[in-house]
Amino acid sequence: MTWQQTVEQTVTGLGYDLVDLEWSAGGLLRVTIDLPWDPAQTQEQFVNVEDCEKVTRQLQFLLEVENVDYKRLEVGSPGIDRPLRHENDFLRFVGEVIDITLKAPIGSNDGQVNATRKKFRGTLERPESQVGWQLVWSDEPARKPGQRVSKKAQPAPVQVLGFTLDEIRDARLAPLVSFKGRSAK
């Protein structure tokens, strides 16, 4: 069993999900954890400092026993730009705005999407067919507060990109931050 598998087994044994495991230059071992997702739960729960401390203590002991040579261990939460890697991650964040990068460029015949475009930002949706995923977006620029809009202006068309998880190089939650307080979803 490799040390990566041992770390994953330890994190899941403590009741957390292993989101990411990164070994950086200079001996930094970065472990990203999250609380398991339960679709029946209405309110989202977040990783706190005590959770990170609990995992850190256990991993320090484990890595010493396994003779893993590291300089610094960093355990944290995924943050606002959380990576999406597994099917369960995509199911969890349906309806959220995400950023995806495709492995190969995708272009449309109608010229609406550049033929060399690989990066997209939009709302993640699951189609009724339950096969693959959809990203829905509009290229209309965001309006500034108080900006007048002409009644003759045509809204930008809504575009839909269908994809499978095999076509994705990278997917993350879009880091959208509002400093106007909490709002109802």
pLDDT at 110 over 90: no
Which domains, from first to last, does the chain contain?
Answer: 3-76 (3.30.300.70), 87-140+155-173 (2.30.30)
pLDDT at 175: 85
CA distance 135 to 137: 7
DSSP-derived pairing of the beta strands 28-34 and 17-24 = antiparallel
Burial of 25-45, coded b for 16+ CB within 10 Å and e otherwise, reads: eeeebebbbbbeeeeeeeeee
| Between residues 159 and 64, the one the model is more confident about | 64
Confidence of residue 107 (pLDDT cuts 50, 70, 90): low
Q: For residue 66, give the nearest of 35, 29, 34 by alpha carbon.
A: 29
pLDDT at 109 over 60: no
Q: Evaluate the CA torsion angle 148, 124, 32, 3 in order and state its sign.
A: negative
Confidence of residue 53 (pLDDT cuts 50, 70, 90): very high
Confidence of residue 138 (pLDDT cuts 50, 70, 90): confident
Confidence of residue 39 (pLDDT cuts 50, 70, 90): confident
Confidence of residue 185 (pLDDT cuts 50, 70, 90): low
CA distance 149 to 144: 10
Type of residue at 41 = Q
Mean pLDDT in residue range 130-135: 84
